[in-house]
Amino acid sequence: MMDETQLIAAAQSGDRLAFDELVRLTYLDVFTLAVRLTGNDEDARDVVQDAYLRAWKAIGGFRGDAQLSTWLYRITANCASTHLSRRRRHRTEPLLPGLDPTELRHEVQPEAMTESMLELQRIAAALDELPPKLRSVVVLRDVYGLAHEAIAEELGISVSAAKVRLHRARKQLRDEMFEERRSERAV
C-alpha cells in the first residue's frame, strides 16, 4: 500500500492504477464539493468526471506546493463554474417543479425532519440563484470552512476579491431568504 506522495509520483509517471487509487481516496470530498457547487447530483457527477479527467491530464504538472485535495478542489471549482455557465446557456424547466430527489425518511421525527428539509430546500434554492462566482465562495467558506486566503488561492483571485464576493453572496442569500419569507407571510 503506497501513501499519497508515492501514489502521486507513480501517477505522474503514467501509472493509471496509482491515479485510480488517488481517485478512490478523494472521490467523496470532490463529489461533495461538486454537489454543493452545482446544486444537484446529476450535474455533480458530470463535474467530477470532468475534474478527474483534467486532473489526469495535468497530474504531471502537480508540483506539490499545495495538498492534492486543495489542487483537486480548485480543478473541481473551475469545472463546476464551466459546467454551470454552459448549463445556464441551455437552461430548461424541470418536469416536476419543487420535486427534490433527496432522501425523504421521516421515521425519526417527522415534523422536525419536514421543517429541516424545507429550510434546506429554501437554502439550496437561494444558493442556486447565486451566480457561480458567488456560490463557489460561499460554499468554500461556509461549508468547507476555508479561510479567505485559501479561497483566494483556490479560485485564483485576490484575498480582497474573495472577501467582497463572500459579502455580496451572503447579502444576496439573506435578501433572497427574507424576501421569500415575506412572500410566505403575505399569502
Q: What is the pLDDT of residues 54-94, one digit of tens each?
A: 999 999 999 888 889 999 999 999 999 889 888 766 655 55
Is CATH 3.50.50.60 correct for 106-187?
no
Q: Report, as an integer, the average pLDDT of 100-108.
A: 50
Mean pLDDT of the residues in the chain? 83
Ranges of beta strands (E only) in 36-160 are none
Kindly report, as residue ranges, where domains of CATH 1.10.1740.10 are found in the chain.
1-91
pLDDT at residue 172 is higher than 80: yes
Share of the chain above pLDDT 70, in %: 80
Q: Place 96 in a pLDDT band, splitting at 50, 70 and 90.
A: low
Please state at what angle helix 41-58 crosses helix 68-89, rounded to 10 degrees: 130
Query: Which residue, among 157, 146, 170, 5, has the nearest Cα to 78 in the 3D structure?
Result: 157
CATH tag for 1-91 (out of 1.20.1560.10, 3.30.70.3270, 3.40.640.10, 1.10.1740.10): 1.10.1740.10
Is 65 buried (19+), middle (13-18) or exposed (0-12) by CB count in 10 A? Answer: exposed
Per-residue confidence (pLDDT) for residue 143, from 0 to 100: 80
User: 94-111 b/e with 16+ CB inside 10 Å = b?
Assistant: eeeeeeeeeeeeeeeeee
- Cell triple for 147: 479561510
Residue 21 near residue 32, CB atoms below 8 Å? no
Containing 22, the helix (H) or strand (E) segment is helix 16-38
